[in-house]
Structure 1
Amino acid sequence: MEIAALPYIDEHATVVPVGADAVWRALLDALEGSFAGSGGARYARLVGCADRTASGPRPLAEGSALPGFRVTVADPGRELSLEGRHRFSTYALTFRLDDAGPGRTRLRAESRGAFPGPAGRVYRGLAIGTGGHAVGMRRLLGSIARRCA
């Protein structure tokens, strides 16, 4: 499924006081640290993700995989798009880096997803409805900003 066709969930953003190249490197490091470990792989197996292990080129590039995600767009310093699917959802997470003034970068994380059927609706309620997804996204963006400090 094409990313644009997936229903919009939310967008989170932060401004980081460094250039886009530094934010890009921190983004890649944070994603590897957050998803590529054994916890991410266990969760990916539990929900039946298509991609269950880290694989492909490193640093992350088109075709790379993390547990739960496959990189579909990697435009260094500009955009990183991840897509995934499992028993309860088809989803995408797109990071965009925008100029926010001299030596500053705005990092945006847009989430999209479809949750078909009764099990999908329950999963959406647990992941999105409880606020857990929003908390996780804010933590991830905070982690990226701290890596740039």
Structure 2
Amino acid sequence: MQVDPLPHLDEHTTVIAAGADAVWRGLCAELERSFSRAPAAAYARLVGAADPRQSGPRPLAEGSAFPGFRVLVASPGERLTLQGRHRFSSYLLIFRLEPDGPGRTRLRAESRAAFPGRAGGAYRRLVFGTGGHAVGMRRLLAAIRRTSERPT
């Protein structure tokens, strides 16, 4: 599916001592855990997210949704693209899994977004200007790393 390009905001990376299949499972599990909790759903409703609740197929696949995000691309072990929209922003969160040596996977999380109008600009300053987005992404990647490296 073709997506209109959105401006690049940032990228965060971690190397995980696990193969791509384990990282994929960890990625999906942590996204479900992080974004399907009550605070995430309340926030999605507050900002008027297009996808305010969990829906669609499980495990995550194209068309799956959880508060604030819809799965646009799901290529297990390779790429997961999440798309979202609310009254202040349209955004993409793109996860790429790449080999990084035997039994190691590099996980990259790229954020892209547009923030239209004055309200969008204020929202961008609040989320990105304060460093809140970067802190959240680092925590998410650390949780994915811990989950992925756990023996099954």
TM score, norm. by length of structure 2: 0.95
- Offset at residue 3 of structure 1 (A): 4.2
Instruction: Report if the CA contact (8 A) 2:27-2:148 is conserved.
Output: no
Name the SS of the counterpart of 2:71 in structure 1: strand
Q: Does 1:94 align with 2:94?
A: yes
The separation in 1 between residues aligned to 2:143 and 2:106, in whole angstroms, is: 14
Equivalent residue, structure 2, for 1:28: 28
Name the SS of the counterpart of 1:102 in structure 2: coil
The separation in 2 between residues aligned to 1:78 and 1:4, in whole angstroms, is: 21
The two structures, once aligned, show a CA RMSD in angstroms of 0.9
Name the SS of the counterpart of 2:122 in structure 1: helix
Amino acid at match of 1:10: D
The separation in 2 between residues aligned to 1:143 and 1:98, in whole angstroms, is: 18
Q: Does 1:54 align with 2:19?
A: no
The separation in 1 between residues aligned to 2:43 and 2:146, in whole angstroms, is: 26
The separation in 2 between residues aligned to 1:9 and 1:3, in whole angstroms, is: 16
Equivalent residue, structure 2, for 1:14: 14
Moved over 2 A (4+): none
The separation in 1 between residues aligned to 2:98 and 2:4, in whole angstroms, is: 20
Percent identical residues: 66
TM score, norm. by length of structure 1: 0.97
Amino acid at match of 2:17: P
The separation in 1 between residues aligned to 2:124 and 2:3, in whole angstroms, is: 18
The separation in 2 between residues aligned to 1:16 and 1:95, in whole angstroms, is: 14
Matches within 5 A, 1:67-146: 67-146=67-146
- Offset at residue 4 of structure 1 (A): 5.5
Instruction: Report if the CA contact (8 A) 2:96-2:107 is conserved.
Output: yes
Name the SS of the counterpart of 2:90 in structure 1: strand
The separation in 1 between residues aligned to 2:3 and 2:112, in whole angstroms, is: 7
